[in-house]
């Protein structure tokens, strides 16, 4: 397994079809410059960039294995605790057919509430004494279907209200701060079913980011596996390196495969470019890389 473990697959990246800023072409060129063996584009709740990206990858980087992907927003709570506030988690789908009807209907339903939620975010920020940022955020979203908190974060930076995007999320847009509007996303079971129906592989994105206690983390891994999930992101730009060994152990304990991806959004915003993270082998040589199923 060790040779496979060292390959430079980067399976989680965003374009301007969601809350990234690069075009598919620019992202593919960046991945090729960084000597990626494989690259997945995984925009939030949309496959709008996949057709263009598939063609661009063939033309610009024929040696790069391009993987059509998506990152689905999910509201999850442990089965035995239905009164608990759901946690927003993300499920990546790899190697999906972007034309699949069930997947597209599901993604459309997840995107549906984003504009109204954006209005409510803007109203909360106004109530906190900030200017109305709806039009700024909406203008920053290239895909009007995919208005995201990231676009509000960039609007806060552009107005000089915060120095950078991480301060935007520290002071605003997150639970307990102005500009956080709880939202009901997809069910875990539905998201995995849409991915699987489209011929894809479901991957639990950046589990260390959810701040669940160890009991609920175990429940999440078990429910994810039981509904057909295949792999877990261990090495990701959304984990800090000290979180890798713990997530690697959990992934192996649950018999799941491992994934790796920068979660790249924008130059100057995401510190580590696609193809620049440590390999899976650097973290734990016994991890079973999900790209064994992709090439």
Residues engaged in binding ligand AMP (CB under 6 A): 19, 44, 73, 148-150, 165-166, 169, 265
Cβ proximity of 285 and 3 under 8 Å: no
Q: Of 165 and 208, which CB lies nearer to ligand AMP in the complex structure?
A: 165
Minimum distance from CB of 211 to Mn ion (Å)? 14
What stretches of the chain show up as alpha helix (H) in DSSP? 2-5, 24-33, 50-60, 101-111, 114-127, 134-140, 149-158, 165-171, 188-197, 214-226, 244-253, 280-283
Least distance CB 44 / Mn ion (angstroms): 6
Shortest-Cβ-distance residue relative to Mn ion: 90
Token couple for 156: 């806060």
Q: Which residues 59-118 are close enough to bind Mn ion by CB under 5 A?
A: 71, 90
251 binds, among ligand AMP, Mn ion, none (CB under 5 to 8 A by kind): none
Q: How far is the CB of 97 from ligand AMP (least distance, A)?
A: 23
| Pattern 256-275, Mn ion, x by CB under 5 A | -------x------------
Radius of gyration of the chain (CA): 18
| Cβ atoms of residues 235 and 283 within 8 Å | yes
Residue 232 DSSP label = E
d(CA 220, CA 17): 29
Q: Binding string to Mn ion for residues 210 to 249, with x set by CB under 5 A, is what? A: ----------------------------------------
The residues of the shown chain that bind Mn ion, judged by CB under 5 A, are 19, 71, 90, 205, 263
């Amino acid at each position: 397994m060790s040779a496979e473990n060292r390959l430079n697959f980067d399976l989680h990246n965003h374009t301007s079809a969601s809350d990234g800023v690069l075009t598919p072409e620019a992202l593919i060129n960046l991945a090729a410059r960084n000597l990626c063996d494989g690259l997945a584009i995984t925009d939030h709740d949309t496959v709008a960039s996949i057709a263009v990206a598939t063609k661009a990858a063939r033309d610009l980087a024929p040696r790069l294995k391009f993987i059509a992907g998506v990152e689905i927003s999910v509201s999850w709570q442990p089965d035995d605790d239905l009164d608990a506030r759901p946690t927003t988690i993300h499920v990546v789908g790899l190697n999906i057919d972007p034309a699949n009807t069930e997947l597209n209907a599901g993604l459309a339903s997840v995107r549906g509430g984003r504009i109204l939620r954006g209005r409510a975010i803007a109203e909360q920020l106004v109530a906190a004494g900030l200017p109305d940022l709806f039009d700024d955020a909406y203008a920053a979203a290239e895909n009007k279907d995919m208005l995201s908190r990231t676009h509000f974060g960039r609007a806060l930076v552009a107005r000089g209200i915060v120095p950078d995007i991480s301060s935007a999320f520290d002071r605003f847009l997150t639970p307990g701060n102005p500009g956080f509007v709880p939202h009901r996303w997809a069910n875990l079971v539905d998201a995995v079913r849409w991915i699987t129906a489209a011929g894809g592989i479901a991957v639990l994105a950046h589990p260390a980011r959810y701040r669940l206690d160890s009991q609920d983390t175990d429940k999440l891994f078990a429910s994810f596996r039981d509904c057909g999930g295949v792999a877990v992101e261990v090495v990701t730009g959304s984990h800090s390196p000290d979180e890798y060994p713990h997530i690697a152990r959990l992934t192996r304990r649950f018999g799941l495969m491992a994934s790796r991806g920068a979660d790249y959004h924008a130059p100057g915003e995401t510190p580590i470019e696609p193809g620049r993270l440590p390999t899976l082998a650097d973290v734990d040589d016994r991890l079973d890389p999900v790209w064994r199923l992709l090439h």
